[in-house]
Structure 1
Amino acid sequence: MVSNSASGRRKKEVIMATPAINIGIEENARVEIADGVSRVLADSYSLYLKTHNFHWNVTGPMFNSLHNMFEEQYTELATAVDDIAERIRALGARAPGSYSEYAKLTSIPEESSTPDAQEMIRQLVTGHEIVARTAREVFATADEAHDEPTADLLTERMQLHEKTAWMLRSMLE
């Protein structure tokens, strides 16, 4: 690139190329892992939205306990989506960040009505189990590529979602 200096002389500007990603994971594996983690991100964000919606709209005799529980859950999910997106970026891919992208990638069904509290709990059990299954699917690819940071992130997410599903399911018994 050439620019004019104050004295009218032309001087060259040096443009440095971004170095290639060299973290010990082949590019095709990084792309496959990032695509899978993008699905985990979409599921997590969709579950975040559903949980926040239920927090706002829950009614009935369990209002206070569910309102507070849902707030804890969506707050945790808000932090998680940031960690998940940052892992995608560390792998060299663009993290999806729009509703339309999430809609294409997620397996979490959207809820546009206001179900009763029991149905909210059932839907959240299903949602947490979906995220755990998606993370488990991606784990195999990360493990095969020796991508320990992604495997660690996915393990943490599976543990949390399985525990949350269990706790919610216990409220239905």
Structure 2
Amino acid sequence: MSTLLNELQVEDAKLHLTRPLATPTDLSVDATKEISGALTAILADVYAIYMKTKNFHWHMSGAHFRDYHLMLDEQSVQLFAMTDDIAERVRKIGGKTLRSIDDISRMQRILDNDADYVEPADMLAELCSDNKQLAAELRVAHTLCDDCGDYSSVSMIDNWIDQTERRVWFLYESYRH
């Protein structure tokens, strides 16, 4: 009897592994698809800005090295913290999200910077522009989520917009003459 029970449990576990991800939600299938797509694209952008921020943090130089280095480190921590919240929100509403670095590179709208050397002021200006672009994308997603009645995502996006605007402000004030 226990062998049969054990075999049934194994079969059930195998079936469970082959079932598609389908977290229950009261949002419509279309809303889940649209919101998941928008948030996943934002997630790819956040990863791209995170990596660029770390790149510039590592390669910072010049008279204001310490201040810029610390600011970019603080901003990269904030960006990285956003990634889990965004991905988990997508999963909570029944969507699928990023699975690999290739996914990020296919979906990101933020351009990479692989230059051997970038002037500190240019680093800050580029990150400022990237964060402004992210804020704009977050506003689009905010409207979509609001229209679909996804108020939890709206609330989270409110916070991400505020954080992004703060990064823009600090970056702008750091590089302007």
Same fold by TM-score, threshold 0.5 exceeded?
Answer: yes
1:23 deviation in Å? Answer: 2.8
Residue segments in structure 1 that go unaligned for 5+ positions in a row: none
Could you tell me which residue of structure 1 aligns to residue 100 of structure 2? 98
**RMSD of aligned residue pairs (Cα, Å):** 2.5
- Equivalent in the alignment of 1:24: 26
Q: Distance in 2 between matches of 1:45 and 1:20?
A: 25
Deviation digits for residues 23-75 of structure 1, max 9, x if unmatched?
A: 32111101110000001101101000000001100000010000000000001
Correspondence list, 1:15-94, <5 A:
15=12, 21-94=23-96
- Which has more helix, going by share of residues? 2
Structure 2 runs not aligned, ≥5 long:
none
Cα contact 1:31–1:91 (8 A) shared by 2: no
**What CA deviation, in whole Å up to 9, does each residue of 1:115-138 have, x standing for no partner?**
110000001101111111111111
CA distance in 1, matches of 2:25, 2:73: 37
CA contact (8 A) 1:125 1:168 kept: yes
Equivalent of 1:157, from 160, 171, 175? 160
TM-score (norm: length of structure 1) = 0.88
Percent identity of equivalent pairs: 24
